[in-house]
Amino acid sequence: MHTNIAGSDASSIRFQGHDLVEELIGKHSFTEVFFLLTCGRLPNATETRVLDACLVTLMDHGWTPTSLIARLAYDSAPSQVQIGISAGLLAVGDVFAGTMDGCAKLLAEGIGQADQDAWCRDVVQAHRTLKKPMPGFGHPFHKPDDPRPPRLFKVAAEAGVKGDYVALLQRLGRAVDAGYGRHLTINATGALAALLLEIGMPLAIMRGVSVVSRSAGLAAHIAEEQRSPTARQIWKMVEEEIPYRDPG
């Protein structure tokens, strides 16, 4: 049993077969080394550009459970910035921001189908029958269309991805509109699922990309909380709006 991620001796540190000091620091970006550690090889220019686009996209979305939690936890443990960020990241779950997995699983399954149109129709039909939401589709605020996917598809095309997963997602989008009888936007996590599949990011770790991305947004929220506190005001608002009442 061994690990390939990283190791060190007294005078050197290695990351996936590369010397950290000689080959990586100052020569490769955060995004490139993140790809290296996760995928086991340095990315090419296409992969770097696509991964950067993905990491930028989910970095923040203003007030969300993640930022609310991070600020409240920071305010309770101000000496330990990691508490605020970690507590917030726990909310990158099945409901918000962590939902790439579902769409990526669909796309990974659909990519090898002989008749993709039939497969898309079946997938939409199955979700409608089970009254399950289509992962990667719909958005509570961004209506009729999430502005991020078209930009992400353009960046990926310009960066030179093969484009099969993006095409499949768009095909699925047409099947969704037809099957539901109304337009449902491809959302950011759907588009990110397609892009990350294009660059070979393992499906099982995709939510990790959201987590890494959002950690940067939460650090920024905490930096702002340090300058302009909001946590006590949030607490006060809730106490006023949702008062205690004896049961019964």
Q: Cα 173–156–108 angle (5° rounding)?
A: 50
Q: Which two tokens stand for residue 162?
A: 């093969």
Q: Give the residue, chosen from 43, 47, 92, 199, that forms a contact with a copy of itself under the rule CB under 8 A.
A: 92
Residue 48 beta carbon to a copy of itself: minimum distance, rounded to whole angstroms: 8
Closer by beta carbon to a copy of itself, 92 or else 123? 92
Sheet (strand 12-15) strand order: 6-9, 12-15, 18-19
Residue 66 lies near a copy of itself (rule: CB under 8 A): yes
Q: Which two tokens stand for residue 191?
A: 């588009």
Binders of a copy of itself among 10-29, rule CB under 8 A? 10-17, 20-22, 24-26, 28-29
Residue 199 lies near a copy of itself (rule: CB under 8 A): no
Residue 30 lies near a copy of itself (rule: CB under 8 A): yes
Q: Which residues pair with 203 in a beta bridge?
A: none
How far apart CA 217 and CA 43 sit, in angstroms, is 24
Residue 5 lies near a copy of itself (rule: CB under 8 A): yes
Residue 182 lies near a copy of itself (rule: CB under 8 A): no
Strands 12-15 and 6-9: antiparallel
Residue 207 lies near a copy of itself (rule: CB under 8 A): yes
Residue 69 lies near a copy of itself (rule: CB under 8 A): yes
Candidates 162, 174, 165; CA nearest to 113 is 165
Residue 242 beta carbon to a copy of itself: minimum distance, rounded to whole angstroms: 5
Residue 220 lies near a copy of itself (rule: CB under 8 A): yes
247 preceded by a cis bond (ω within 30 of 0):
no
Residue 78 lies near a copy of itself (rule: CB under 8 A): yes
Phi, psi of 9 (to 5 degrees): -125, -170
Owner of token pair 């660059």: 199
Closer by beta carbon to a copy of itself, 134 or else 209? 209
Closer by beta carbon to a copy of itself, 124 or else 148? 148
Binding pattern for the stretch 131-170 against a copy of itself, x by CB under 8 A and - elsewhere: ----------xxx-x-xx--xx-xx--xx-----------
- Spell out a b/e string for 173-189, using b for 16 or more CB atoms within 10 Å of the CB, else e: bebbeebeeeebbbbbb
Instruction: Check residue 60 and give left, alpha or beta (phi > 0: left; psi -120 to 50: alpha).
Output: beta
Residue 181 beta carbon to a copy of itself: minimum distance, rounded to whole angstroms: 22
Closer by beta carbon to a copy of itself, 111 or else 205? 205
Q: Which stretch binds a copy of itself (CB under 8 A): 106-114, 116-124, 165-173, 227-235?
A: 227-235
How far apart CA 176 and CA 229 sit, in angstroms, is 43
